[in-house]
Structure 1
């Protein structure tokens, strides 16, 4: 067992990211957009506390085109994409 407190902190942060991702996946499965809002709020609070929310575009749907987690965004009139995703998708 490691005595490095950073190891435990990183492990807990990864658990938190996975939990938030599960909330997003439940939102998709149950078609409940309010769950996306809850997961985003948790991530935003974590960021205010100085924790990295991780690559949000990987676990949240696009608010512009509705692309599901893991999928690239589709072209939408009036919205530019960067590296295959809409910038709005990466904002909390």
Structure 2
């Protein structure tokens, strides 16, 4: 799992038919070795710009979409409410 912040919406009017109905957003990763990297994520839970989110990639993302054949490589699986107090 990765942690990121949603920074923008991504619109694609022409795309594979299997992607119709999915909401795509740009996420900037905020920790670890992937700090500041950006990736397009499928948002299935209704997160918004500026929110910190949990992201999964690969087959885990396709399982979130519910179809192992869909061409999705990253998906939002949770919205972070607050950091763990044990990190302070």
TM-score range with shorter-chain normalisation?
under 0.3
Q: What is the TM-score with the length of structure 1 in the denominator?
A: 0.25
Higher helix share: 1
Higher strand share: 2
Q: What is the TM-score with the length of structure 2 in the denominator?
A: 0.26
Structure of greater Rg:
1
Higher relative contact order (CA 8 A, sep 6+): 2
